[in-house]
Every structure is written in C-alpha cells, then in structure tokens.
Amino acid sequence: MSTFEMMEYGAWGLSAVLGLWMLFDMIRTDRSYSEDVLTSSREGEIEDKLDGAH
Amino acid sequence: MTTSTQVPSERISLLRVLGPGHVWGLGVGIVLVGEYMGWNFSVGKGGMMAALIACWVAGLLYTCVAMIDSEVTSTVAAAGGQYAQAKHIVGPLMAFNVGLFLVFAYTMLEAANAWTLGYLVQTVSGMMGVTGPDGAALTVWDKPFVVLTIMFLAWLNYRGVHTSLTFNMVIAAIAFVAVIVLFLAVQPWSNDVLKHSEMMASKDGLLPYGWLGVVASLHFGLWYYLGIEGTTQAAEEVRSPARSLPLGTMTGMITLLLAATMTWFICAGLMPWEYLGTAATPMFDAARLTGSTPLMVLLFIGTVFATLASANGCINDASRAWFSMGRDRYLPEWFGAVHPVYRTPYRSIVFLVPLAVIFACFVPLDQIITFSILSGLLGYTFMAINVMMFRSKWPLGSINRGYVHPMHPLPAIVLLLLCAVTYFAVFLGYGSQLLAMMLFYIVASLWFHFHRYKYVRRGNQFTMQWPRPHGH
C-alpha cells in the first residue's frame, strides 16, 4: 500500500471521526438542554463575556 | 403555530469576541483564493487586456459594495448580514430571498474550494510520480480529501468562532504575503524575469475578441473579489460592530485590490494568454516558471491556505445566514439554536455539511462556480436598491451610523449598472443556468409567501432601536 493510499484511508477515517463527533455532541447537547434555552438567542443582543469555550 | 415568543429565564447568544483583524481575515480569507485561481478564466474569455479591465471594473463594483455594506451593516449589527439588512429596510420576501442568495453563494463557494483542495492533492501525487505495486502510474482519489476538508472546517466552526476566525486570519495573511513575495521575486522594476512586451506582442494577446470579450471576461473578473461582503456576517460576534466592520471590510478591499493587480502583473508577464486562460493554478504555475524551489513551495502553501481560508469563511457565513433565518422562523426554528458551550449556530453548521459534500463530489466545478457567482450577483443588485431605500427612509442624522459612504447615490447607481453588464456577461456564457436559477428563486419565493410566512415572528423582526422611517 502506497503512502497516498494510506492517506486516502486516513482521510476517510478522520472525516468519519469528525462527523460522528459533531453528531454525537449535537445529540448530547439537544438532550441536555431544553429547546427554549437552545433557541433563546435574540437578534442584536450584546454579550461581552469571554467565558465558555471559543 | 403561534407567533408569540416565550422568553426563557436563561439566554444563550453568540459571543462577541472578534476584532477588526478577524473581520479582515474573514473577508480576505473568503476571497483571496480567487487571486490564486479562477480569475484567469477572464483571460480566456477576452485576452490579457480584457482581464486587466475586468480586474479594475470588478474592483470598482466591489469598492461600491464594500462602502455601501460598511454603512448599512455598521447600523444593522446582526448575524445574517444582508439578510438582516433586507428584513429591516425592504421587507420579509426580500429578506428571505437575500438569505437564500447568501447561503447558496457561500455553500457553493465552499464546495468549489473543497474540490480544489482535492485537485491539489492529485496534482502533488502526479508530480511525485505515485505508482502502484506493478509500477504503473496511480491517480490518487480526490474525494477523501474533499470530504475531509469540509468535515475538518465544519468541526472547527462548530467548536467556536474565535478559534476558527483566528485560524482564517493567520492563513489568509500567509497567503497574501506569498503573493507579495512572488511579486518582489520576479523583479517588477526590470524585464529580466517578466516579459510583458513579448507576451503581449500581438494584438491577439491583448483583445482577441474585441470589446465583447471585455464584457464576457467580467463574469470571471468577479472572482478577484467575490465574497468580501461576507464580513457583515460577523456583525453579531464582533466587539464593536460600528468600528470593526467598516475598518475590517475597507482594509480587506484595499488588500484585494493590491493582490489582484499584482497577480495579473505577475502572470501576464510569465505566461501566454492561450495557456493562462485555461490554467487551473496560475499563481503556482508562475512560481514554477521562476525555477525557484522555495518559491514553488511557498506558492503551493499559499494556494492551499487561500483555499482553506475561503472554505472556512464560507462555512462561517452560510451557517450565520441559515441560523438567522431559523431564528426568525423564515425556516424551521430548530436551525436557530446556539450551542450552550461553544456559542455557535451548531445545527446550521452540521445541516449544511452534506449539502456542501454533495455539490463538491457530484456537481461539475463550473456549474458550482456559476451558481455561486449568480447568487452573489443577485445579492449585489439587492444592495444597491437597499442602500437607496435606507438613505430615503432614515436620512443622515436620523440614526447613528458607524460609517457614512461618500457620494451617495453614485456608488449605488454604478453598482446597479455594473450588475446589469455582468448579468449580460453571464448570460453570454451560462444563459440556461441563469434562467434556471431565476426560476428556482421564484419558486422558493412562492413557497415562502403562500406557506412559510405564517410561521414568521413578525413582531420580533424589527430589532434595531431606530425611529419610524421617514414618511411613515
């Protein structure tokens, strides 16, 4: 198997991991918080806190 | 379904953590790939001189776009950019269409960028002479790298806007520096490397198709700057929208005007128009023609970084537009959710991933690019009308503006005229796609008017603290 063939498999594998991570996190988040909280953002609100991951 | 709003005790909103540098990185990051590839098809349409005229005419068009956008968005500081502007200034049906223009323009551009990265991997494997066990030349499959590009950048966007746009700022800056280094390396002050007089010796090389070729070349001339207006999507995440957005957008536009002119100058002095007009990676080819390995490596890195920055910025912008429409119930409210930890529109980011993958893997590149350009062009047409209505309804002095663009209404009129010429240019090459896309937006408008509008949060649409419009 050539280096590029291994890279192809690696790319598929990494894509699957990243995609599944996002899906898993999305489902976990949706289950942990109420829909009212998740969709509570309102246009034009200002929040200057730097807490939370970013 | 009711249109009333329940206010939960706890609110989650997007984070205001970005500065002018991030805005610059977002705008230039989306566009700079156009200097590395794509713009040169304008040479194929009309010759060397037509491409230069297209570069400057499109530069004028986008300077009008940047000035107009800076004024309006420094006042309407909300995610969704032009969508939020349309909602406040024109009305719901216009806003719905503008939202779709934005989402499709950026998602198609993202797909084109991912396709390009796959192509670059194939090119590198070809240059390295990859062979199979039997010694025969192998063609590396591009699709795994196309999908990985989209997945990785979506994941980065999912995890937070500060990280993703800092990443964009850094790689866009490196890609821009690579253009400057190549420009200096080819010694623009002498004729030792660049041979403009030889490349343009015959009339055929300058304007082979006459002035009609100049008009036709405008189609791809947009590629030098397409997407700079995307800076407005960061409006709800910058610390000081009234200062950061005009500053980031205008410095971004100056950067692009310089990069576009340098790009044309380098390539026009190194390659004949017949080759340049069809080259896939003209800046990388220019570096190869210098014979310098460090320059080749630098320009290859610049090409990869420019492509990544563009795809990354497009994911950011498309997801903000989709999110804003969901938040106002122009689309299902489910899309209007914000991640409680990362503070990003995570559902919109994930939802648009398969759309980008499908287009990148199964639709021809020129169709994707044309769909992106046409959606962008419809957006620019809206912007010219929008700013005239904005100045008419809220004249200078009636509301605070972070930036006031000069010579109104001249930039809006120039923008409208240039849009009309560009529609004609696109019609010359892609008439059926233009008509098909118009039909798509008409059908979508009918769906919105007769079905979706009853779910819209009408009472919550107008969020800016402005006085009643003039004459109402």
Q: What is the CATH number of the domain that holds B335?
A: 1.20.1740.10
Backbone angles phi, psi at B337, to 5 degrees: -85, 145
Report yes or no: B459 and B328 within 8 Å, Cβ to Cβ: no
> How confident is the model over B165-187, as a mean pLDDT?
96
Quick one: closest CA in B to A36, which residue?
Answer: B8
Domain count, chain B: 1
- Whole-number mean pLDDT of chain B? 89
Confidence (pLDDT) at B153: 97
B336 falls within a domain: yes
Residues 6+ apart with CB under 8 A from B256: B28, B31, B32, B35, B59, B62, B224, B225, B228
pLDDT at residue number B457: 79
Contact across the interface for B324 and A43, Cβ inside 8 Å: yes
Is 70 exceeded by the pLDDT of residue B3?
Answer: no
Beta bridge partners of B137: B131
Whether residue A54 and residue B163 make contact (CB cut-off 8 A), yes or no, is yes
Indicate whether B419 belongs to any domain. Answer: yes
Contact B12 A53 (CB under 8 A): no
With a cut of 90, say whether residue A43 has pLDDT above it. Answer: no
pLDDT tens-digit readout, B257-311: 999 999 999 999 999 988 999 998 899 999 999 999 999 999 999 999 999 999 9
Q: So what's the pLDDT on residue B205? A: 63
Q: How confident is the model at residue B9 (pLDDT cuts 50, 70, 90)?
A: low
If we measure between CA atoms, which residue out of B216, B248, B254, B220 comes closest to residue B234? B248
Q: Find the closest chain B residue to A43 by CA distance.
A: B78
Is A40 within 8 Å of B154 when comparing Cβ atoms? no
Q: Are B286 and B299 in contact (CB under 8 A)?
A: yes
Domain contains B471: no
pLDDT for residue B203 is more than 70: no
B221-267 residue pLDDT tens:
888 898 898 998 998 999 988 888 889 999 999 999 999 999 999 99
Q: How far apart are CA B151 and CA B23, in angstroms?
A: 23
CB contact under 8 A, B130 and A4: yes
Query: Which ipTM did the prediction report?
Result: 0.86
Residue B242 included in any domain = yes
All residues of chain A having their beta carbon less than 8 Å from the beta carbon of residue B159 are 53
Q: Which residue has the higher pLDDT, B462 or B413?
A: B413
Q: Which residue of A has its CA nearest to B146?
A: A11
Q: Has residue B421 got a pLDDT over 60?
A: yes
Contacts of B162 in chain A (CB under 8 A): 54
Share of chain B above pLDDT 70, in %: 95
**Tokens describing residue A30:** 């949706």
Confidence grade of residue B206 (pLDDT, cut at 50, 70, 90):
confident
Q: Shortest CB distance from A26 goes to which of B152, B336, B350?
A: B350
Does a structural domain hold residue B263?
yes
Residue B129 has pLDDT above 90, yes or no: no
- Give start and end residues of each alpha helix (H) in B394-459: 410-450
Q: How far apart are CA B443 and CA B438, in angstroms?
A: 9
Are the beta carbons of A44 and B236 separated by less than 8 Å? yes
Joined tokens for residue B395? 């004249």
C-alpha span between A13 and A6 (Å, rounded): 10
Residues of B in contact with A2 (CB under 8 A): 130-132, 138
Q: How confident is the model at residue A51 (pLDDT cuts 50, 70, 90)?
A: very low
* Model confidence band, residue B2 (pLDDT cutoffs 50, 70, 90): very low
The reply to whether residue A43 touches residue B78, judged by beta carbons under 8 angstroms, is: yes
DSSP three-state, residue B205: helix
Return d(Cα B315, Cα B360) in angstroms, integer. 14
Q: Is residue B342 part of a domain?
A: yes
Asked whether residue B97 carries a pLDDT value surpassing 90, the answer given is: yes
Where does the pLDDT of residue B133 fall: very low under 50, low under 70, confident under 90, or very high at 90 and above? low
pLDDT at A26 over 70: yes
Q: What is the pLDDT of residue B388?
A: 95
Residue A49, pLDDT above cutoff 90 = no
Answer whether residue A46 shows pLDDT above 60: no
Half-sphere exposure in the Cβ direction for B286 (13 Å, CA): 35
Nearest CA in chain A to B132: A2
Residues of A contacting chain B (CB within 8 angstroms): 2-5, 7-9, 11-12, 14-15, 18-19, 21-23, 25-26, 29, 32-50, 52-54
Start-to-end Cα distance in chain A: 39
Does residue B205 lie in a domain region?
yes
Range of the domain at B425: 20-460
Is A37 close to B147, i.e. CB distance below 8 A?
no
A2:B138 CB<8 A: yes
Interface contact flag, A11 B147, Cβ < 8 Å: yes
B240: left (phi over 0), alpha (psi -120 to 50) or beta: beta
Scan for tokens 């977002």, then name that residue.
Answer: B26
Amino acid letter, B256: L
**Region B331-341: what's the mean pLDDT?**
96
**Closest residue on chain B to A9 (Cα):** B144
Helix (H) or strand (E) holding B278: none
The answer to whether residue B15 is domain-embedded is no
